A and B are shown apart, each in its own frame.
Chain A
Amino acid sequence: MPTAPPPRRTAAGVRLARARTALTRPTAVLGACTLLILTVLVVAPLVGLVNTTLMEGGRDAWGDVFASPMSENLLWRPMGNSILVGVATAAGSTVIGGFLAWVVVMTRIPGRWLLGLLATIPFALPSFALALAWESVFRNGLIGGSTGILVNLGVAVPDWLAWGPVPVSATLTAHYFSLSFMLIAAALASVNGDLMEAAELTGASTLRVARDIALPVVAPAMVSGALLAFAEGVSNFVTPALLGLPVRFHTLSTRLYGAISTGDVSRGYVLSIVLIVVAAMIMYASTRLTGGRRNFATITGKGGRRRSVDLGPWARPVAALAWLLVACTTVVPGAVLVLSSLTRRTNDFTSGFTLHYWIGGSDPAFAQGRPGILNNPQILQATGNTVLLGVCVALGAGVLGLLVSYAITRSTGSRWLPGTLGVVSFVPFLIPGIALGAAFIAQFGAPIGPIPSLYGTFAILVLAGIAATIPFAVRSGTSALSQVSRDVEESAVMAGAGLFRRIGAVIAPLTARGLFTGGVLVFVQMVRDLSLVVLLATPAMPVLAVLTYQYSSENFTQLANAVTVVIAVISVGATVLARRLEGAAQPWNQNS
């Protein structure tokens, strides 16, 4: 303990003393440490990606992409389409997710608990289920084969409604609005009832209160949700491939996967770098636009009371709209998915139904003798692996994400550190999973100093999973943290609680809702994600997503769909469970 008299001030002494006191400011140390971890997990693979494109590979990938007769079709038009789809998805997700969050949190519409649960499900469904649902309704005769319900009813469906940007954006919105919903609902739930009452006392209308009071408070969550939806929309491959290709609607992601899967890796990596840069610019622009209103601390030390909005005559229409949205995005695709695992013939709902693909034994008449998935020990093993992987990654990304978002929101002094952390932690979103997987093999495949080769281990899956999902974890962490007032934490500083104790004893419980949401997102992402694990999954350790992929590439569509149903059930189950735990973890909010 330093006591007077002051030490003699030599220049070196001063520097040493400064360094020592700087170490007592753990936020800076934390920021530096998390940046280092992110560098290893994110920047290094990215550098590997860039490097690959610069090596002599016989062909000049950059020139091909940017300055060749192909550029138009390979780069510019797909880029325009990607931005179009991304922006439409972000906007649609924010509107729908925000509306549903408002309905669930702020109104007294009957059954809003169920509504809230159903609204989180589309994200847990695989993209192709939603695309398939769209097709089963809107598919027209463009391709040939069977047509959708509308055409069968005699309604002419124009191509723009059946194929191309409209259905792609619509189904992606239906898929990703859950993200916005979860983030905005968590933020709305923490809006202090007094704020709303104060506003209502001024005589402002319900709508006006929502717009002028609630909206700014949840703005950070909305921006986060929109950015996530944008990035997901831009990088999704399945939906544009299913609904866009027939009218030659390409996005950067379809071009990228095409390049990689036809063996032109460098060109694919160039496209993914373009994708990263484009999305980073959009993200930068949007945070600049909304940067002024980032920090609303609304959980003060006083517990806030929740308050519902009385909708009056609007209650019924609003409820009807909310239920309709949820039904279209959850119930319909869910039903399509389940039914398509039961059809005798692939995706043909008129061919009759069978439970064979679920419980049947080996029968040469079905899927070349593959047994139903519940009869298949490999599926059970894969289920265990998948859940374990999801839990490990959710925990790892959750902890790292909380630390990173803490460093971002609580850093004082220089602004480059939080800024860098913010950007770096967002980047993995934009690295296509397959590229990230390849980069991870390159980086961790060989021993690094004392660390043995991680190739083929469960650890590399977890590490890559953390890297891939850190954007989710950081976004939800940031959004949750911005709801905790600084005072509440400083009072713990005064009590002498160190950084990690503060995070554990004060920050974590107070942000539990947001952290659970983020954890579930990560879990669900890991459980259903294919592109990342397809290269990394040790073949001896199957995970469900890889099995789905194998089945579907073998044209055992029903089996693939049945496994997908299992994935969806796990994801939805996790969501429900987290909801339960969330309530139990915050007894101080029970009176709300």
Chain B
Amino acid sequence: MRSGAPAASLTITDLRKDFGGTTAVDGISLEVPPGSFLVLLGPSGCGKTTTLRMLAGLEDPTGGEIRFGDRVIARGDGTALVAPSERGAGLVFQSYALWPHKTVRQNIEWPLVVARRPRAERRPRVEEVLEMLAISDLAERYPGEISGGQQQRVAIARMIAPEPRVLLFDEPLSNLDARLRVETRGELVRIHRSTGATSVYVTHDQVEAMTMATHIALMKDGRIEQFGTPRELLESPRTAFAATFIGTPPANIVECRVEGGRLRAYGVDCGPAPEGAGAGTVTAMYRAGSLAPAPGAEVGPGCLPATFADQVPMADRWVLGVDLPDGTRAHISRDAPADLRPGDALGVRLPAAPDAFFGAGDGHAAAGAAL
């Protein structure tokens, strides 16, 4: 690290970004300690990239505040705005954004030149990061002459060369093939650790999030749906959206009506309603492992009608995809493949109680949520 500059904590308070009439980021707050690997996770258009660009300084917030450590780097009212290069942050773009007219070495060195680092310091640093990313052989090539994976490494090398305290990644793996993606994931974590910096990583891929993050901020429509460790998000999703977005396979959601203290869905009794639930509907969550195919297409209390769609092996288990009567896709996890063909009817046996309840409407975790 540059003369021991410590990694910074990251604090976001009520951060907003309006573009003309539309709101891209709608008042988000979070805080992570130094050295964290924060993943901003969410579907496209949820505001995660805009948030990242505000952290980088490429967009100015229209409300709220961002701090790296104790230092305010941006305020929505315009009273503080630290220039991007003064924030001690580096960014890897989705497109890598290498400078096509500079060689790999020049790409890595130029930010150091701009920062007026002395030549004697620059040269060894460039060699060091070239080495670190195993791209020394490519140093004299132009970006147009190397592969996508190699460009990606150059982009990372360029980012870390000035030794930033905060690393920012904008979906950096989305242009890579599946295998390279898995490899690079490990590489990124290694780099994150070795630099000791705080990282913020934007992705829509929950697997990336789960494997790399120390903290995940799950975003939807410009808001944070849930913030926590990967395990918290997986084990205690606070909303139906969180439950269905995270996990492999994701959890299943069944809309139930409450009738006389009992839950009913698809005309089937699903067990007792949670305490305190009035009349109306509740959303019940069942993990894939909590469901099981009923033998012989049986349908009845605690057993929903369904149609078999597909099955895939996952680790040492099999995940069955079935369609509920209204077309909702449900996943069942079990030890062995099922002897069914797509289109076959089957029953889905529910556990005695769902893994969790969410209130109707806002989809937030309801009272009595149970594991």
Please report A residues at the B interface, Cβ cutoff 8 Å: 1-4, 6-7, 9, 13-14, 17-18, 21-22, 24-25, 299-305, 485, 487-488, 490-497, 501, 505-506, 509-510, 586-589, 591
Contact = CB atoms under 8 A, between A and B. Distances in A.
B115 interface: yes
A302 B84 contact: no
A389 to B, nearest CB: 31
B100 A491 contact: no
Nearest to B98: A301
Given A3-B70, A18-B78, A301-B151, 10 more contacts: A4-B67, A7-B79, A9-B77, A301-B95, A305-B144, A485-B97, A491-B91, A492-B114, A510-B99, A510-B100
Contacts of B71: 1-4
A304 B91 CA distance: 22
Residue of A1, A301, A485 most packed against chain B (CB within 10 A)? A301
A6 B75 contact: yes
* A9, A302, A509 interface centre (most CB from chain B within 10 Å): A302
Give me the 6 closest cross-chain CB pairs, A-B, nearest first.
Answer: A303-B144, A496-B85, A495-B111, A487-B97, A17-B79, A18-B78
B85 A493 contact: yes
Given A3-B72, A301-B151, A490-B93, A497 B114 contact: yes
A487 B100 CA distance: 12
Interface string B92-120: 01111111110000000011001100000
B135 to A, nearest CB: 15
Nearest to A19: B78
Given A2-B80, A17-B80, A302-B143, A488 B100 contact: yes
Contacts of B145: 303, 591
A25 B60 CA distance: 10
B55 to A, nearest CB: 11
20 contacts: A3-B72, A4-B70, A18-B79, A24-B81, A25-B60, A301-B96, A301-B98, A301-B143, A304-B144, A305-B144, A485-B97, A488-B99, A491-B91, A494-B85, A495-B114, A506-B99, A509-B101, A586-B101, A588-B143, A591-B145
Given A7-B79, A17-B79, A303-B143, A493 B58 contact: yes
A416 B60 CA distance: 20
A393 B193 CA distance: 55
B182 interface: no
Interface string B18-58: 00000000000000000000000000000000000000111
B254 interface: no
B288 to A, nearest CB: 37
B100 A2 contact: no
B86 interface: yes
Contacts of B84: 493-494, 496
Contact of B115 (A299, A301, A490, A496): A496
B114 A302 contact: no
Contacts of B81: 21, 24
Given A24-B81, A302-B98, A305-B144, A494 B75 contact: no
A496 B143 CA distance: 21
Given A2-B80, A6-B79, A301-B151, A491 B99 contact: yes
B95 A485 contact: yes
A521 B28 CA distance: 51
Interface string B148-173: 10010001001100100000000000
A588 B145 CA distance: 9
B89 interface: yes
Contact of B101 (A6, A17, A588): A588
B151 A302 contact: yes
B241 interface: no
A238 B162 CA distance: 60
B318 interface: no
For B60, B72, B75, B144, which residue has the most chain A Cβ atoms within 10 angstroms? B144
A303 B93 CA distance: 15
B98 A494 contact: no
